[in-house]
Each structure stands twice: as C-alpha cells, then as structure tokens.
Structure 1
Amino acid sequence: MSTCNGISPKNGSCSGAGCCQMNLPRGVRNHQGYFNPLYNTTDRKWRATPCNYIGVIANEAFNFSTTYLSSTAFYNATVGSEKTIVMEWAITRNTCQEAIVDKNTPYACVSNHSHCITNDAGYACKCSIGYEGNPYIVNGCTDIDECLDNVTYPCAGICKNTLGSFTCSCPRGKSMKIGVCVKDHMPIWIVPVVGTSLLLLALCLGGPFIMRKIKLQKVKKMKQKFFIQNRGLLFQQLISHNSDIGERMIITLRELEKATNNFDRARVVGGGGHGDVFKGILDLHVVAIKKSKIVVQREIDEFINEVAVLSQVNHRNVVKLLGCCLETEVPLLVYEFISNGTLYNHLHVDGSISLLWVDRIRIALEVARALSYLHSAASMPIFHRDIKSSNILLDDSLTSKVSDFGASRYIPIDQTGVTTVVQGTLGYLDPMYHYTELLTRKKPSIYRSNDGDNLVSHFEKMLATSNLFDIIDPQVMKEEDGDLQEVATLAAKCTKLRGEDRPTMREVEMELENLVVKKKLVPSITTPGRNDKDEDQVQYMSVQPATNESSKQYTTEEEILLSASYPR
C-alpha cells in the first residue's frame, strides 16, 4: 500500500495533499486505488476542483503542476486529451513453451509468419518481421509491401518486394553508394575480366597447395595400403600378445626418411643383390636401415613372424633388430649400427698382415656362441642358413656380430627338418645341399685346387695328409702355438657331408672354449709386436668395401660426427 502524506505540493513532485503519484512495478496484475474520506474536498480551498481523479498513465507522459490543485488544468490535460496509457496484457499465465504443449488451452498464435513472446503475465503473439496483421487468427499476418512505404523502407534504386522483406538494387551501369545509385566509372566488361583474373590468380597461388594436399593424401593412403598389405595388423597383434617386444617396434616411414635425409644415396653404407643398407640417426643413435628389393607377396606373413622372433633375440654377438617399417611396398628393417666393417673386409686385405690368430679364434668362438644361442636357447630355434665372413660384422673392439637374417628361418621345436627352400651363398651352404644339388646341377666353384677340388675337399685332403701348410694362411702358421691341428680337426668335423655326422653348435662352442682356456688366449685387438706399419694396415682394412663375391652383406663407412638429432 502506498500513501502520500505531504502537505506542501511542488511542481514536478506529485506526492502529498491534492496529488498522489505511485509507480506500478512490472508484473503487477491487480491494483486498487481509493480516496481517504477524511480529506474534505468541499472546503473552500478545494471548491475550484471538487472532483477526484484516478488514472493510469505513462510516467514520461505526465508532469505534475501545482495549478492542477486550484483549476481544471489537470482535467483538461488528461481526461480532456489523449495521453499514453501503458497496459500490458497477456494470454493465460503460461510461457510460450508451456502454451505450446498445453492440451487444455488452445495455442493462440495460429497465424503463419507469427511468433510467441513470453512476458511477465503470460505470453502474447506477434507477427514476424516483414509481416503485419492479427497473429491470433489463421493467415492473419500478411506480408508488408515495403516498396509502397519509401519513408519507412527507403530505396533509391529499383525496389522489389519479397516475402517478409525487399531488395533494393541499382540499374545496370550504376552501383549503390551510401544508399544512392551512382554511375559506375569503369566499363561493364571490366567486372567479369577482373573476376576471371582474380580466379586465375587464386588458382595459381592455391594450386600448388591444393596439389600438395592431394599428394599428401595419396601418400597417406599408400602407406595405409602397404601397412595392411605387409600384415601390419598381424604384427601389431603379435606385439600385443608378447610384452617382450617393445612398443616402439613399429617405426613410421616419416621417421626413417628423417633419419636418412630421405634415403640419400650418400648414406648407403652397404648392400648386395637383395637391397641397400643406409646409415641413419634415430633417437640420437646411429642405426642401419635395410631397404630390401621386391619380394614375393606370399613371403610377407613369413617375414612378419621372422621379425617378431628376431626382435626377441638378445645376444651380444647377434646384431640387434630395433624395429621395422611396414608403410612401404617392401618392409624396412632397422638394426643397430656396427661401425668397423665385416670379417670379410678384415681377412681379405692387401699385404701380409691380416687378423691375428688369437682374434680369429675369439671371433670363431663368439660366432659359435651366437649360433648355439639361436639354435638352442632362443624361444624358437632360428637357423641362419647363410653364415659367411661378409655376414659377420665387427665393432671397434673387433667383437663379432652375426647379421643379415634375410635367409634365416625359425623352426618349431617339434620339427626336425629345416625347410624345403634352399637359400644362401655358394661355398657356404650346408654340404647336404651340395650333395643333393638342389640349387644347380653344378658343384660350387668358389675355390678350385690344382686338382680341381673345391675349398672344403682340398682342405680335408690336406688335413688327412698332414699338409695343412699348403692351404693355411702363412700368418696363422707363424702365430699359432700348437693349437692349429685341433682347430683344423674341428673345422673338418663341421664340414661333414651328413648333418648327423657334424657336431652341434653347442659342442663347437664348448670345444673352442676349452681351447681358449687351455691356451689362455686373451681376447684383444692389440698385440705386442705390431709395428706402426701393421697398425696402419689394420686401420685401413676396417673400411674396405666388400667384393662382388659376397652377397646379402652389411658393409660400413667410417663413423661420421653426429651433427643433428632426430628425436622420435
């Protein structure tokens, strides 16, 4: 309840005797006004205006004047004239959302092109912009023809009415400038010419970018195709079922391209008939990346299983397989990099000085240990099938590393045969392969004695007749200390024709170990008695390239400084 108790009225302030003004808050639904009967309006001072008035009027439309108390000015200014009265009304007390779903009360906004407005009292309907009329009846909202009202909707050009709106355009040869059509300064034909020029410019500038995106998408699809074709999913499954295989076993092609400067030919450090070996830097480590040539698709499954098995091989005398890339047509293999060349390079040098006898015995023992491990100690027996001097790498301390498992196969423990496919290098194959002549109808011709014997046959004859000096390296004859006969006898056992007549690699390993212990042969790459000339020869021979007699080998170059790192 509001009251006005003032007794001294002022202009502009209607709050006291004779005038009482009250602001109605928004949302008020009921209001009642009345006069206090204690006020005596028959007194002489009220005789000029004996009537009482109550009204609702917009606040900005009324300004109190003290003359209203002693004259009919208020009546003349309000009742006797048109004044704005604000009366907000609504349908029911529901919001628009409630009214739409209310099944008891029909929705009032039935006209097309109308919309609902929620207010404090309920909701009301209104025609949409560009329409006028009654939104509470069907088709009550009609389109406004804006072109007929140039004052409200000014258009200095060609006006065209549309449903709910209008368009204003200029005639040909003119254009709209600040609401006015002005004549164009350039010929009409300039517009299409300029547009065409801009289009050609955009194509020239954006064409290479678009082509590059298309090329990248094509390369991405090819990688995915090769990954699936190379049984990448199978390899991932093998990894998921074997925690021993590292999560980083699968390497992306992008990483290898970065590591080898996009397989720069200057990075090639070896190769053969089956592919090239690149030197690269991966995770701040120097690695060897084997890029093989085309293989038969049916061998891919076998290749994946082979990689999975070799990834579990952990022996100091076996080159460690670090991972593989399956995003190329032929999978890429990544091995640890061995910097000092192959045993072939160190044996076949110009000059009279080659590897010392003690180093040769030690290397033979290390290779025997590696093969014994692969045959017996690995989770599944692995047969290399191409052991030769060019497939034995040497590090800076002349420690041997068996490498190149391209011809190898893993054999389940319950199977006795190796394989029906014969692979390897002539002169190093299992003697039984020679005997059965599965490769050719000719005998190996790597070596021939004066009598026409190959290397193995000639060696066995010399051993049987105690004439080893005719075939043994003269340097070995000078350096050996009574152990040559034992080593030669062991070598002869290993070249027996029938596999069951040959010792196992474990037996070879034990016999060589006994020989080393008995003779106290200390592994070392430096032996007293070598002069500077010998040292120069050894240093030179460590970087000699392999000859054409070797196949499927890793040859290396001198170690380069790591000038850049490529973190993965």
Structure 2
Amino acid sequence: MGSGHEDRSSPRRKNQKLRPFQRFQSTPPNRNHSRNQTMFWLMHISSSTRMDSETLLKRDRLALFVFALLLLSMGKRPASADQPPTMEDCEPKACGNGLMISFPFWLAEQQPSFCGYPLFKVTCKNGSYSPVLDFVDHQFYVLNIFYDNRSFLLTATETSDDPCTIPYSNITSTSALYPLGVSTANNYIFFLVNCTSDRLDYTRINCGQNWAYYGRKYNSATVDLNGTGCALVIVPVIANPASIDHDYLQLFRSGFLLNWTSSDCPECTRSGGRCGFNETLGRLMCICRDQIHPFSCALFVFYKHRKKQQFYPSSKSLFRSASSNPYLKDPEMSDNHFQTHLFSYAELQEATNDFDASKELGDGGFCTVYKGKLQDGRTVAVKRLYENNYRRFEQFMNEIAILSRLRHQNLVNLYGCTSRHSQGLLLVYEFVSNGTVADHLHGYRASEGILTWPMRLRIAMETADALAYLHAVNPPIIHRDVKTSNILLDSSFHVKVADFGLSRPFSTDVTHISTAPQGTPGYLDPEYHRCYQLTDKSDVYSFGVVLVELISSKPAVDINRDRSEINLSSMAITMIQNGELEKLVDAGLGCQSDEATRKMITMTAELAFRCLQADGDMRPTIKEVLEELRAIEFEWFKVGKKAQHGGENGDDAKLLKNTAPLSPDSVMRNWYSSSTTPHTSK
C-alpha cells in the first residue's frame, strides 16, 4: 500500500477487469486530455501547505489566472439552444397561498424547465389557493413543502362533498412513484369496492348498486378478501383516522405526505450555485454566476478551498490551534477552538432522569446512549462513555473536534458536551427518531418492512454524500467505522451518519496513515487489517459492505451462517462471481417480479463488488461511488417516468384485483363517484 497516488492511477491497474457482469458498462470519460493536465497542474499548485504569505499570494494569482483561461476555453454550455441558464431564471417564487417554489420544484409558465426535475412541475393557476402538481395523470394541490425533510403535503383536486366519492384505482408499485415515495408518517384508510357480499365488519358507503366499505389501519397488514369478491384500495392520509369517525372525505382533504428521493445536489448549493436539471443529458447541473457546471461552481470552490486551508492549516491544528470561543470555559478544551456548548453533568443527569434504564436507546462496547429532554424542551441523545481513561478521552475529544466544525445535512448534529473534569464524559446529540439502518434491515424493526428499494437507494446515496463530504474537507477525515448501526434515520427516513470516535484527519500530501486496526468485524478493510495502513479507500470498503446489507437485509457477520458465509462481504463476492445474485437479494424487495427493481439492484451489486476489492487501489473513490449511485437513481427516474406515461396498458395503471394485495406504499390515482361521471381532468 505504500505505492502512493501514482500507483493508483497507473494504466495497468485501471485496465484490469473487475466486473463479473458481462453487461456492465462504465461511463466514458467526458474531459479531454489538455483540460485534465491543466486541472492536475492547478491541483498540484494548491497542494503545498508550507509557504509564506507572499508566496501564497503569488500562487493564488497564478492559479486564478490559469483557471480563468480554462473557463474561457471551455466556453458556455447552455441548457437550451435559445439562451444560457442564469441563476435569476431559477429564483424561488411564491405561489397561491404564499408557498415558495424552488428546486426540485419549478413553476410552469414562470420558470424554464431546467429549474427543477420534470416530474416536479407545478402550476400557479389564477384563483387557485395552492400550486397544482400533475402526477400520475391526475392533479393534486400542493398544500405545503418541507424542503429540510424533502417532503410535501398534497391533496386531490377532485374531492367533493359527494358521499359516493371513493378512490377506485391506484398505483400498485413503488417504481411508478419514483422519485417520490409515500411517507411512513401517513396513516391509511382502505376501501373494499364492488363486493359481491356484505361486509358487516366495515363501515358501508351507500352508493346505489355499488357495495363499498371502508376501514382504517396503521401498518402494512393485509386485509382478508377471501370469498368477498372485493377489490382493495388503500389510501394514505396524514390525519389520524381514529380522530374522525366516519368522515372519510375530511380525511381525504387533510391530504397525505410524499417524500422525494432524488438528489438535492448539495455540492452545488454549498458552492454558492443553484441546482438545475439537464433533461437532455439526464443529470443534475449547477447554475453559477458565470455559466453552468456539472456539480458545483468551480471558481467559488477554489476560494472556499483557500478559506478552508486557513481554517484547517494542518492535521495537528485540528487539536492544537488557539481559540477565543466563548462557549467553553474548560481551559483544556478551549485550546482546541471547539465551537460547541458546554453542559453541566447535573443538567444531563436531570435530562435523562438520572440515566434511567428505561431511557436507553442503545448500548455499545464502551458507551450507553440515553434519550433525554433538555430544560429548553429539546429532545436529545446523550452518549455516556465508560472508563474515563486516555483512550476514551481521546475518542471523546475526537467527536467534538470533528462534529463541532462540520456541517452537512447527513451528519448527526452535536449540541454539546460536558467538561473532561465532570463526573463523566457525556456527548449531547440531536435525537434521531427512527433508529438505525441496521434496526430496519435485520434488527428489531425488520419485520415492519418499511425500507422499500427506493428508500434503500436513497439511504445509500445520502450516506455516500456524507462520506464524500468528509473526504473532501481539509484535512480530509476518514470515518473508520462506517456500518449500518452508525447510520441513523430521522423522522422522514433521511440519513444521519454518526459515531466519529474512531475517525482520523490526515494530510492531503500523504497516501495513508499507519495505525493499529480499529473498527467493527465484518466492515474492516482487509488491506488495513493486513498492512496497518489507513486510507480513504478503507471507508469505501466498509461502505461496500453497507451496500450489500441494503441489497440482502443480512448482517455483516452472522456465525449462524455456513462457515464460508459468516462474513457477508465474502458471501457477496462469491455469489456475484458465480452469477448467483438472486440468492443474495432480499426477496421482499420485489426483484423477481419487477424488472426495474431487478436492474437497479444488479447495478448496485456491481458497485458493491468494486468497493469490496481486496486491493484498495482497485476500489473507486467515494465521490465516484456517489456519482454511480446518482446514475442508478436517474436510471430509475427514467423507468418511473416511462411507467407514468404508459397509459392504461401499463401494469401500474391496472384496476386493483383481490388477487393482488396492495402495497401500503401506494397512492390513489383516479377518484370515482357512482352518481356522477368519473373525473378525467388532467
């Protein structure tokens, strides 16, 4: 592993074939040789850290000049032939009830189509109180948008006061909804339509000759339809059905919550750009002040990189630079300019009811995590470290040093800590309500079956995005303990990567760090274990194990499996190489019945296989992993779009039959009233 960067990029290595899938195709390079040379030269200029101020100034001016020449040589690449996109084109706009519309949504007739995803087009009609979204050949009012949680509340436009208004058909597969998904925050009411016999156990809806009934449910339990002749329709509603006895129309009007699983291009927004979508190329674009870029505003990033260099002068300064931070009064901790709040031990003792066992959220090898409530009303997670020795203190300081400086939507937020001189070492985090990915895949919540394939793909993307952010800061940070039990899920099932006790910063001018292996069995990079050398590719290996867990719903290590399959990564590599992927995949994901799901899972398995290579140089970088996951997402996006425009001949548009129980991740499609003509407006 001491080969350095030159070895990683050698032609011999890159030309070696790793992929066991004959149909797998890699993305062709999209940059010419001269631009690569120029960019490499710029990166080389920026690599030095030991320069005086005059040399730094000259270097910056020279690099900026060459960078400007590069931008001029690239020219502008407009999204359309008519005019190049500008940031002003996609300025957020208010609609109807004052709701702000911004990416991934866009306003038809007021904004160009590149301002958002095609399926997120909304119209602001005169006299309409809310924006209108066209979705699965139907129209919905958008009541509210929660950008932070990537969710929005909507209701059907055709609901009326007619007591015979019932949903008569719906979409049965989640692939047709992509990149949207039904939020798990919804409750469900269900309808039994066109029954041939009476159902005394449900509330009857008087609709002439049509026998219709409805009830309510709170989970994915299947309704027994044997011998009834009924067709089943399940409708999500955000309101609690128990609070509204028989007024199901009022439940409809309360609306239901959808999540979007598509990327929000954080690299672009962090660099000062505005997200857009190039439908011709089928990918995100970053709209900057000067022109468009694939991922971020490069010129802005260049200045931001210099600013980060001043903030993180070296890896040593992560622990030793001086500070005037007013929050911390502990003299030993204030030397580290950690910008975090200092809690008293008594305050956290009170918040957790004296660390009551009933408040425990989890128990690790060297800590216990408790749920608590602060005096200001915030619900928090309090990590209590055992053994107040040097190693525990080092991990304690490590988490503070890293999380107090970093801000990313998929990293857990650190609220504060106690002094090292207090009665115990305590760390206070935001409370993340939906447990860990491990809980849902093969833990105590696995039986709930909440994590559909689109949700798992989104979890993979958000985790990769968080790791790519860690690897991109200066100095880069290696997490060292990437695993599904350290990937938390919030109320909307978005990722929060946690547990940075083992994480390490390392300088960009070295290829690895020599250190004794630490981490979790089943996730440890074999090269790290063999050579005691830690690199960014160690996180990539661990993430490969996470990908296999998402595909298989199996734990990373299981001593109850056959000896050759105890380690999940070994099992996955063997099965993939032998063309036995179907034995690995969780049957509950619908891989056997849905071609789109099978294709996406196969592509993800290919990516996992590359991440799990024993030789670290053969693995992709985490940024390359993220881009491939985005490509997989877009492939699904195209399939979902095709399904939505497939008309009544598509499987997803068929009327529900009692032979095919409906998934709870579904949404009503057409509203039907027996006393009137069925709604057909679009």
Give the alignment's TM-score, normalised by structure 1. 0.47
Which structure has the highest strand share of the two?
2
Higher Cα Rg, which structure? 1
Give the alignment's TM-score, normalised by structure 2. 0.39
